[in-house]
Amino acid sequence: MLDKINNQTDIKKLNIDELNELSKEIKAFILESVSKTGGHLASNLGVTDLTVALFKVFDFNKDKIIFDVGHQSYAYKILTGRKNEFNTLRKLNGISGFPKIEESKYDFFNTGHSSNSISAALGYAISRDLNHEKYNVIALIGDGSMTGGEAFEGLNNLGHLNTTMLVILNDNGESISSSVGGLAKKLNNIRINQKYINFKKDLKKKYKSKTIFTLRKIKNHIKNIIIPNKMFESFGVKYIGPINGHNIAELVSTLNKIKKIDGPVLLHVITEKGNGYEFATKYPNLYHGVSSFNINEKIQKNTNDFSNYVGHELSELRSNNDRIVAITAAMKDGVGLNEFATKYPKSFFDVGICEEHAVSFAAGLALNKYKPFVCIYSTFLERAYDQILIDVCMQKLNVIFLIDRAGLVGEDGETHQGIFDLSYLTHMPNIEIIAPKCVEDIKLCLNYALNASNPVAIRYPKGFYSSKEYALKTLKTGKWSIIQKGKKIAILATGKMFEIAINLINEFKDIEIIDATFIKPLDYETLDRLASKNYKIITLEDNQIIGGFGSLVLLYLNKIGYKEKIEIIGYNDTFIKQGKISELYNKENITYENLKEIILKLKNVI
Amino acid sequence: MLDKINNQTDIKKLNIDELNELSKEIKAFILESVSKTGGHLASNLGVTDLTVALFKVFDFNKDKIIFDVGHQSYAYKILTGRKNEFNTLRKLNGISGFPKIEESKYDFFNTGHSSNSISAALGYAISRDLNHEKYNVIALIGDGSMTGGEAFEGLNNLGHLNTTMLVILNDNGESISSSVGGLAKKLNNIRINQKYINFKKDLKKKYKSKTIFTLRKIKNHIKNIIIPNKMFESFGVKYIGPINGHNIAELVSTLNKIKKIDGPVLLHVITEKGNGYEFATKYPNLYHGVSSFNINEKIQKNTNDFSNYVGHELSELRSNNDRIVAITAAMKDGVGLNEFATKYPKSFFDVGICEEHAVSFAAGLALNKYKPFVCIYSTFLERAYDQILIDVCMQKLNVIFLIDRAGLVGEDGETHQGIFDLSYLTHMPNIEIIAPKCVEDIKLCLNYALNASNPVAIRYPKGFYSSKEYALKTLKTGKWSIIQKGKKIAILATGKMFEIAINLINEFKDIEIIDATFIKPLDYETLDRLASKNYKIITLEDNQIIGGFGSLVLLYLNKIGYKEKIEIIGYNDTFIKQGKISELYNKENITYENLKEIILKLKNVI
């Protein structure tokens, strides 16, 4: 069936049985393909039926759809002519795991971060109105993304502007149960209507073959699904649902009716993450984002990485200090906080995809004598820029930011690379910034931050690096670790860049190699010494050059009248697309070879 | 009465009549005091009755209160021992117009930006619980602030964590009518309960002496007040209200009842902005933030400033291009968009205090071939850092940011100084940043931005500066304007700093004076020329040095091997407190005298 689909018109010709068959084939294709390339699995399987139904009803040659986050757009990509490129998914120069306007005329917004789809779609809808055109605009948003403040801002403005637009709430229950708890607390007085009861029966029938675990999850979930209409209607958006996101007939019929409604509509669709692949429905978090895997075996989670070391060390620290609390924004697994959450549930807070709230909440805790560790990926912490600056740094609070996935993350591409955090943090007064180079350094860094009296950001990369030999012995404010004393040339490498710099140790015995753990404040004493002896200086960082580590070094050296050129290695005012991290370092010339070349040139002029 | 209040216990002894009298005296005191010092007036008069009631019921020696934004904390300051310092309000070294933890042990959070009070208060409440303590925690938030996404994030997490905390929604109707329109659209099927009807009668009685205008406003407003309970209860927060925020007896009785309730409560209080002073109730926006004024006359709004020039020129531009839309975040007056909004209501969007949504919405409009101008103050645009970077810059969209109040703003103090925008923008790929020095330059800047194909930020200061003599004739990408050709020393002044640099022209005929309109990209050709002739270079900016204009200049000059020290004048990694702008420049050494001194020193070494 799938092979016969050449365009959207072909899909429209199919009847419901054929659509069901098509959807099954797409799910099989996604499973097969992602098992080889890696990618987002459970979220994509969950919306395949819905996507097929959308193609039956809408025409994306004129209609627009914006996928919130975008990690549920694979079926859409397959049905808009990109099936044959799926073997290049998330690879260097291949197709992206997220919608990309530069990849296809059917992609309307480059997403990757959460909760902005309603806002962006509203931009499309309003410009359509201003232009006196007629077509449909759809925002497809998960219940997780719906917890983000911007989604409410968008919804509220949508109700106010009262234009025709469809918001599809793709509710797979994961986030509502774990985060949007507030929505689930006031259920006692709810009147259950017939439609809802029918739906419940329908779900039970559908899932009768499932394990008790799954069934219970669905049952609990059902309790939640009637409540949100009150909320959404308060915003002035017509609420329709909930409907079963795996019943294509019902989806098509409902979507056809909605097409005739003027004004904003929210359609609440219940889906199952991982639908069609049992491992993924049983373990939706495990199968959220995956590397290549064997379809017939359960994935074993790799826990040997910076995230899990950080999470473990934070648990250890907590065992001696009950003032420590950990806060994350819907990424408990990702940031390695499972152990902490299990051991200290009352001190653990997953606030949903709410980075802004996470940071202001932490500020309140810190002012009331607690020690909040805020664990968020570098790229998502961007959302809390203002709260870090105003609520935390301005009040000089001892909030500790555990910035995971700092530097390149690889296959997720430009929306996810953590290459801006130094630039958005270095100019904040009162903050200290440190970067452990290896998992052995983490403990000292956490301890240091706990005992500080001001904001501390600890940034560390995706992946794993161990170095017992060069691990920090102590960590003092603004002190670097001299790995190898040298003459005339010094390499200042921060965080992960140590992995490149350390290669010099065998080849260049006369080069000073410095592990610049402290990014702010810098080690002024060491810089004074290097400057006074006219060392040539090279800085390395996994971040934008503008506003980054090398820029700080340059500012200081300029201030003290150092006259030599400084070689600053980092990203040159550019976004970095997808690919393996090693491939991207090559592309950006952040390599040992380049470093060596620079050194040899410098040696010639000394 | 007010003079007899020495502590909170004194207030508790008063009966309702005495509390009413006290409140009247406080309002009179605020009016008298603010008419001399300037400050926030209407919002403070609006919550005085409520504040007095809070002191009757709560004890802020143990209870905590967080004022959202904080421009309604004057009565609270007066009643916590700061009455005698009110003549120093907002002055250099005086008391702040906002809560400040360093000013009083009764201030619990430094606010200034909006919508974070629930989050911060939740931090207090949860740490209280973890510490097994008992006291009340209150967030007092206006209906305007309630539109911000972070407020919803906080509310949702509050419902989820289900702790005892009081959110007081101070609803003065301004924002609900103008922004939270979505909330007001679905009123047809609302059952009106007896309490509500009584309240309506009560309000009518209270306001019978008011003008028709005021009464109509209140009537329209009444239609809105029953709806939100559905929404708030959806979040798991118990909704109580609405009650009359000027009836102290009712406030005290309700607050006493709420004190006994476990779990999160939202109390909806209806207040009148400017209550007790007729000019302020009639013109609440005009009397929101004021300079010193005559109590017996209506204020005349100063419209001779950058904001109004920008607004006017944008209107002019719109008259020839119907693709132009203007977006602001609840600051139509402040950013000078009244004219535009009146002439082109369909192209004007005030989205509420929703900076994140504003930017993603603009991105959608730009992708659908419209020309969005997003007009937000420098300090508040921080809230949309991620959306500017990911939604706009990464997609290289021609969204134009009109960044008002860039640089120092003076009396509002450190939460409002616009001294970070260059630092948070310069490292964003694809963006261009320009800074007009005088109102005459605005037209060219807007025209340039309109015809660009990428994001453009235009930053301009608070206040007014006209310079027909040196106004730009043309504006080309990365081109500076040479005001005076010179030898050996060059001053690169950006934006408002021109006002300092231009003073050199009479005294130093041999100094090159450059109006560096373009901050990104820099004028590389000019820099190459200066470097090749070994000019000494001084940069001036109204921004943090780290990540700012001088840093960009330094990075480039380092790259091309320039060997001289560069004098970078800007803010030295610090927050800037309140005071007159001129006083603050003096304090930070951003003065003509300092510039002259640097030049004389440089002349000595040439």
Q: State the Cα angle at B93 between B287 and B584, rounded to 5°.
A: 80
User: Does residue B448 fall inside a structural domain?
Assistant: yes
Please, which residues bridge with residue B515 across strands? B481, B493
User: What confidence tens digit (pLDDT) does each residue in B99-158 have?
Assistant: 999 999 999 999 999 999 999 999 999 999 999 999 999 999 998 899 899 999 999 999
A211 pLDDT band, cuts 50/70/90, is very low
Residue in chain B lying closest to A177 (CA) = B160
- Which of residues 162 through 181 in chain B touch A, CB cutoff 8 A? 162, 179-181
Q: What pLDDT shows up at residue B235?
A: 84
Flag whether pLDDT at A458 surpasses 50. yes
- Tell which wins on pLDDT, A147 or A444: A444
Q: Which helix (H) or strand (E) holds B556?
A: helix B549-559
From the list B147, B234, B424, the residue facing A228 with the nearest CB is B234
Q: Which residues of A are catalytic?
A: 273, 355, 383
On whether both A521 and A555 belong to a single domain, the answer is: yes
Residue B197 has pLDDT above 90, yes or no: no
Percent of chain B at pLDDT exceeding 90: 85
Interface touch A109/B363, C-beta < 8 Å? yes
Whether residue A455 has a cis bond before it, omega within 30° of 0: no
Q: How confident is the model at residue A222 (pLDDT cuts 50, 70, 90)?
A: very low
Q: Is the pLDDT of residue A207 over 90?
A: no
**B5 belongs to a structural domain:** no
Determine contact: A183 vs chain B, CB below 8 A. yes
pLDDT at A514 over 80: yes
Tokens matching residue B496: 């408002």
Residue B235: name the closest of A350, A152, A219 by CA: A152
Beta-carbon count within 10 A of A3 CB: 8
Name the band, by pLDDT with cuts 50, 70 and 90, for residue A552: very high
Q: Residue B378 above 60 pLDDT?
A: yes
Residues 235-294 of A with CB under 8 A from B: 235-237
Pairing mode, strands A432-434 and A518-520 = antiparallel
CATH code of residue A585: 3.40.50.920
Evaluate if residue B253 carries a pLDDT over 70. Answer: yes
Whether B58 maps to a domain, the answer reads yes
Nearest neighbour of B357 by CB, restricted to A153, A228, A547: A153
Q: What is the pLDDT of residue B479?
A: 98
How many whole angstroms separate alpha carbon B103 and alpha carbon B96? 8
Measure B273 CA to nearest chain A CA, in Å.
23
Give me the CATH number covering residue B416: 3.40.50.970
Sorting pLDDT into bands at 50, 70 and 90, what band is B218? Answer: very low
Number of CB pairs, chain A paired with chain B, less than 8 A apart: 381
CA distance B323 to A192: 48
Q: Which DSSP state fits B393?
A: I
* Among candidate residues B518, B573, B514, B527, the one with its CA nearest the CA of residue B553: B527
Residue of A nearest to B555 (CA): A551
Q: Which residues of A touch B121 (CB under 8 A)?
A: 364
Interval A74-92: pLDDT, tens: 999 999 999 999 999 999 9
Calculate mean pLDDT across residues A108-129: 98
How long a stretch of residues is chain A?
A: 606
Question: Tokens for B581?
Answer: 């702008």
Say yes or no: B448 and B522 in one domain.
no
CA distance linking residue A117 with residue A138, whole number of Å: 9
Give me the mean pLDDT over the A572-589 stretch. 98
Instruction: Label residue B302 by pLDDT band (50, 70, 90).
Output: confident
Beta carbons of B390 and A558 less than 8 Å apart: no
Q: Which residue out of B82, B273, B371, B443 is catalytically annotated? A: B273
Question: Which among A363, A390, A561 is the nearest to B415, CB-wise?
Answer: A390
More confident residue, B180 or A44: A44
Would you say residue B61 lies in a domain?
A: yes
pLDDT the model gives residue B496: 98
Percentage of residues in chain A having pLDDT higher than 70: 91
- Chain B window 409-428: which residues touch A at a Cβ cutoff of 8 Å? 414-415, 420, 423-424, 426-427
For the cut 80, the answer to whether the pLDDT of residue B46 exceeds it is yes
For B427, nearest residue in chain A (alpha carbons): A546
Residue B568, chain A, CB below 8 Å: the answer is yes
Tell whether the model's pLDDT for residue A421 goes beyond 90. yes
Interface of B with A in 71-110 (CB under 8 A): 101, 108-110
Separation in Å, CA of B424 to nearest CA in chain A: 6
Asked whether residue B198 carries a pLDDT value surpassing 60, the answer given is: no
Q: What share of chain A in percent tops pLDDT 90?
A: 85
Single out the residue in A290, A317, A335 at which a domain terminates: A290
Q: Is pLDDT of A560 > 60?
A: yes
A545 shares a domain with A409: no
Q: Is residue B35 part of a domain?
A: no
Instruction: pLDDT band for A208, please (50, 70, 90 cuts).
Output: very low
**Measured between beta carbons, which residues in chain A are less than 8 angstroms from residue B176?**
none
Tokens of B585: 């420049």
A385: confidence class by pLDDT, cuts 50, 70, 90: very high
Q: Is B564 on the interface with A (CB under 8 A)?
A: yes
For residue A14 the two structure tokens come to 């199919």
**Mean pLDDT rounded to a whole number for chain A:** 91
Query: Of B332, B383, B437, B462, which one is the catalytic site residue?
Result: B383
**Partner-chain residue, chosen from A120, A161, A368, that has the shortest CB–CB distance to B364:** A120
Using the predicted structure, report yes or no on whether residue A483 has a pLDDT greater than 70: yes
Does B190 contact chain A (CB < 8 Å)?
no
A549 pLDDT higher than 80: yes
Judged by CB atoms closer than 8 Å, whether chains meet at B575 and A156 is answered as no
> Residue B352: is its pLDDT beyond 70?
yes
Do residues A332 and A271 both lie within one domain?
no
The C-alpha atoms of residue A129 and residue B322 are separated, in whole angstroms, by: 13
Residue ranges of the alpha helices (H) in A90-245?
117-130, 149-161, 174-178, 194-206, 212-224, 228-234
Tokens read off for A214: 């799954």
User: Is the pLDDT assigned to residue A52 strictly greater than 70?
Assistant: yes
pLDDT band per the 50, 70, 90 thresholds, residue A175: low
CB-based burial label for A92 (10 Å; 0-12, 13-18, 19+) = middle
Backbone angles phi, psi at B333, to 5 degrees: -60, -50
Closest chain B residue by Cα to residue A126: B365
Let me know if residue B267 belongs to a domain. yes
Number of C-beta neighbours around residue B209 at 10 A: 8
Cβ contact (<8 Å) for A119 and B426? no
B224: nearest CA in chain A? A234
* Contact check, Cβ <8 Å, B151/A150: no
Is A130 part of the contact surface with chain B (CB cutoff 8 Å)? yes
8 Å CB contact between B512 and B376 = no
Q: How open is the CA angle A236-A237-A238, to the nearest 5 degrees?
A: 120
Task: State chain B's mean pLDDT as an integer.
Answer: 91
In this prediction, residues B52-56 reach a mean pLDDT of: 98
pLDDT greater than 80 at residue B211: no
Has B383 been annotated as catalytic? Answer: yes
CB contact under 8 A, A546 and B152: no
For residue B173, what pLDDT band results from cuts at 50, 70 and 90? confident
**pLDDT score at A174:** 62
**Which has more pLDDT, A183 or B368?**
B368
**Cβ contact B399:B372 at 8 Å:** yes
- Phi and psi (nearest 5°) for B481? -110, 120
Domain count, chain A: 3
B182 in contact with chain A, both atoms CB, cutoff 8 A: yes
Helix, strand or coil, per DSSP, at residue B516 = coil
Does the pLDDT of residue B165 top 60, yes or no?
A: yes
Flag whether residue B123 sits within 8 Å of chain A, measured between CB atoms.
Answer: yes
List the structure tokens of A302.
Answer: 């790799």
Residue B480 has pLDDT above 90, yes or no: yes
Closest CA of chain A from B355, distance in Å: 9
CB B210 within 8 Å of CB A159: no
Q: Is the pLDDT of residue A202 over 60?
A: no
- The answer on A548 and A431 residing in a single domain is no
Distance CA B480, CA B437 (A): 12
Measured between alpha carbons, how far is A558 from A554 in angstroms, rounded to an integer?
6
> In this complex, do A162 and B154 lie within 8 Å of one another by their Cβ atoms?
no
| Token pair of A245 as six digits | 């996101």
Which chain B positions have a beta carbon within 8 Å of A394's beta carbon? Answer: 110, 414-415, 575
| Confidence check: pLDDT of A50 > 70 | yes
Q: Which two tokens stand for residue A465?
A: 């690096």
**Residue type for position A291:** S
- Mean pLDDT calculated for residue range A457-471: 98
Cβ pair A157:B354 closer than 8 A: yes
Q: Is A366 on the interface with B (CB under 8 A)?
A: yes
Has residue A562 got a pLDDT over 70? yes
pLDDT in tens, A323-372: 999 999 999 999 999 999 999 999 999 999 999 999 999 999 999 999 99
Residues 474-493 of A with CB under 8 A from B: none
Phi and psi torsions of A53, nearest 5°: -60, -40
Same domain? For B428 and B494 the reply is no
What 3 state SS string does B562-579 have? Answer: CCCCEEEEEECCCCCCCC
Q: Which of A263 and A185 is assigned the larger pLDDT?
A: A263
pLDDT at B208 over 70: no
From CA B537, how far away is CA B523, in angstroms rounded? 14
* Cα–Cα separations (whole angstroms), residue B496 to A319, B302, B303, B308: 54, 20, 19, 17
Q: Which of B355, B356, B411, B432 is catalytic?
A: B355
| Out of A227-236, B27-36, B179-188, B489-498, least confident range | B179-188
Please give the pLDDT value at position B543.
Answer: 98
Q: Judge whether B44 and B74 are in contact, CB under 8 Å.
A: yes
**What is the average per-residue pLDDT within A126-150?**
96
pLDDT value at residue A233: 78
Q: Do B234 and A566 touch (CB under 8 A)?
A: no
Neighboring chain B residues of A361 at a CB cutoff of 8 Å: 119-120, 122-123, 126, 154, 157
Do A310 and A282 share a structural domain?
Answer: no
Considering the domain boundaries, does residue A476 fall inside one?
no
B182/A123 touch (CB, cutoff 8 Å), yes or no? no
* pLDDT tens, position by position, B58-114: 999 999 999 999 999 999 999 999 999 999 999 999 999 999 999 999 999 999 999
Which helix (H) or strand (E) segment holds residue A372: the answer is strand A371-377
Q: Is A474 a member of any domain? A: no
> pLDDT grade, residue A185 (50/70/90)?
very low
The reply to whether B107 and B233 lie within a common domain is yes
CA–CA separation, B547 and B421 (whole Å): 9
- Closest partner residue to A124 among B159, B364, B385, by Cβ? B364
B62 near A CB under 8 A: no
| 8 Å CB contact of A230 and B227 | no
Is the minimum CB–CB distance between A598 and chain B shorter than 8 Å?
no
> Chain B 306-325, CB below 8 Å of chain A: which residues?
322, 325
B550 min Cα distance to partner chain A (Å): 9
> Does B517 share its domain with B452?
no
Residues A266 and A328 in one domain: no
Q: What is the mean pLDDT of residues A488-505?
A: 98
- Side-chain-side CA neighbours of A512 within 13 Å: the count stands at 23
B175 and B239, same domain (yes or no): yes
Say if residue A12 is in the same domain as residue A136.
yes
Q: How deeply is A590 buried, as exposed, middle or buried, from its count of CB atoms within 10 A (0-12, 13-18, 19+)?
A: buried
- Taking only the tens place, the pLDDT of each residue in A240-297 is 988 999 999 999 999 999 999 999 999 999 999 999 999 999 999 899 999 999 999 9
ipTM > 0.90 for the complex = yes
Mean pLDDT along residues A160-189? 64
At residue B332, does pLDDT exceed 50?
yes
Tokens describing residue A44: 């994509």
In terms of Cα–Cα distance, which of A268, A242, A183 is closest to B232?
Answer: A183
Residue in A399, A546, A571, A602 to test binding to B, most B beta-carbons within 10 Å: A546
Termini Cα distance of chain A: 69
pLDDT at residue A452 greater than cutoff 60: yes
The residue segments making up the domain with residue A210 are 2-290
Contact A509, A566 (CB under 8 A): no
Asked if B536 is an interface residue toward chain A (Cβ–Cβ < 8 A), one would say no
Residue A562 is which amino acid? Answer: Y
Query: What local confidence, expressed as pLDDT, does residue A605 receive?
Result: 85
Q: Which of A11-15, A170-174, B206-210 has the highest mean predicted lDDT (pLDDT)?
A: A11-15
Phi, psi of A8 (to 5 degrees): -65, -30
Q: Hunting for tokens 């005892």 — which residue is that?
A: B164
- B371-377 and B348-350: which strand pairing? unpaired
- More confident call, B220 vs A154: A154
- Considering just the CA atoms, what is the radius of gyration of chain A in Å? 26
CB B268 within 8 A of CB B240: yes
Give B441 or B234, the one with higher predicted confidence: B441
